[in-house]
């Protein structure tokens, strides 16, 4: 997991007047009448997925596996919408089914196999219901929310036998430690040989670069929060006494990847303009571009203003096309 900054703009599908907002209103009526609740998957719309990719890239928000053409990824409800595991009387956080702040883009395994409707609390008596929904921020959740919790400061790695395990850092409080341990268990962050192998490959890459005279720029790119398994690359760079990327650099690289992807999908559509797969992806990528533009992320990158300006220029060029 990495610290993420969620776009402040609500995707049109979910905003007032959007089709999901209308559906949510019907949901409220059904709940008031005591009827069974069913959900329509408006969260799969291109603007919603595009906004999530602006925040986190094409990487699972929990385990940092790559989301690509093979693993399309799911839009996951952080607080489960249709029922909470082990709490049958609760009924789920149905009123957050169309709330953008409750969404993450995740790999299929994290959403469908590991998390499902799991949402444990430190104190079950304080679980929030629709009637007391204004107190949601104070609900003592156990899972880490990467757009709220300072994950980058809380997580560390520790070598155990041949593997690098994700552990709480020394700056994590007692509660933060519990949350990290619970999240690692839930998403099997220390229970998958594929994740362990990805971490070891990062260490090997740094060692190789050190021996070969040091082409660390490639590794710094891998340490960007928009890249798969970026936390281990970042950690390994710091361990080796090298500079990890600044947020502005990460943003610029994110934009470059996005720009290449848009061009590639457009090229594919020249061959077959009815290719639904590439039409969908092009639509999502254009939404990502729009969100990056609308949020004007580069304004926050004062430390490396030149990189921020290059990102702005790239965005302007892409928008004007």
Taking a C-beta distance cutoff of 8 angstroms, is the pair 108, 102 a contact? no
Residue 185 beta carbon to Zn ion: minimum distance, rounded to whole angstroms: 14
Beta strands in the chain (DSSP E): 74-77, 103-106, 155-160, 163-168
Residue 65 beta carbon to Zn ion: minimum distance, rounded to whole angstroms: 5
Task: List the interface residues with Zn ion, window 18-77 (CB under 5 A).
Answer: 60, 62-63, 65
Stretch 188-227: interaction string toward Zn ion, x if CB under 5 A: ----------------------------------------
Task: List the interface residues with Zn ion, window 110-139 (CB under 5 A).
Answer: 110
Judged by CB under 5 A, the residue of 107, 144, 290, 311 near Zn ion is: 107
Closest Cα to residue 252, out of 210, 216, 305, 294?
305
**Residue in this structure with the two tokens 């996005």, named with its chain if needed:** 258
Residue 75 beta carbon to Zn ion: minimum distance, rounded to whole angstroms: 13
Handedness of CA 204, 205, 210, 213 (dihedral sign): positive
Cα separation of 36 and 319, whole Å? 44
Task: List the interface residues with Zn ion, window 242-281 (CB under 5 A).
Answer: none
DSSP assignment of 184-214 equals HHHTTTTS-HHHHHHHHHHHHHHHHHHHTT-
Site for Zn ion contains 186 (CB under 5 A): no
Site for Zn ion contains 307 (CB under 5 A): no
- Secondary structure letter of residue 17 according to DSSP: T
Residue 34 beta carbon to Zn ion: minimum distance, rounded to whole angstroms: 36
Residue 281 beta carbon to Zn ion: minimum distance, rounded to whole angstroms: 20
**Binding residues for Zn ion (CB under 5 A):** 60, 62-63, 65, 107, 110
């Amino acid at each position: 997991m990495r610290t993420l900054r969620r776009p402040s703009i609500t995707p049109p599908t979910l905003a007032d007047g959007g089709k999901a907002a209308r559906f949510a209103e019907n949901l409220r009526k059904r709940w008031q009448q005591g009827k069974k609740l069913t959900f329509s998957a408006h969260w799969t719309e291109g603007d919603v997925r595009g906004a999530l990719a602006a925040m986190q890239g094409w990487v699972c928000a929990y385990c940092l596996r790559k989301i690509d053409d093979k693993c399309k990824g799911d839009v996951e409800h952080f607080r489960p919408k249709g029922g909470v595991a082990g709490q049958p009387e609760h009924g789920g956080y149905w009123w957050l089914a169309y709330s953008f702040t409750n969404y993450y883009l995740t790999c299929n395994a994290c959403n469908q196999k590991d998390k499902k409707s799991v949402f444990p609390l430190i104190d079950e008596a304080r679980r929030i219901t629709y009637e007391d929904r204004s107190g949601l921020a104070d609900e003592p959740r156990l899972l880490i929310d990467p757009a709220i919790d300072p994950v980058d400061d809380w997580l560390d790695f520790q070598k155990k036998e041949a593997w690098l395990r994700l552990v709480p850092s020394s700056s994590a409080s007692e509660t933060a430690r519990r949350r990290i341990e619970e999240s690692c268990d839930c998403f099997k962050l220390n229970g998958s040989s594929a994740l362990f192998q990805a971490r070891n490959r990062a260490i090997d890459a740094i060692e190789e670069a050190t021996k070969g005279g040091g082409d660390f720029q490639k590794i710094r790119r891998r340490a960007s929060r928009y890249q798969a398994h970026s936390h281990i690359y970042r950690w390994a760079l710091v361990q080796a006494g090298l500079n990890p990327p600044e947020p502005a650099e990460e943003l610029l690289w994110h934009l470059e990847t996005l720009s290449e992807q848009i061009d590639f999908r457009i090229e594919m559509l020249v061959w077959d303009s009815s290719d639904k797969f590439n039409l969908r992806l092009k639509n999502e990528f254009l939404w990502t571009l729009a969100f990056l533009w609308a949020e004007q992320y580069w304004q926050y990158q004062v430390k490396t203003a030149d990189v921020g300006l290059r990102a702005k220029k790239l965005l302007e060029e892409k928008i004007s096309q």
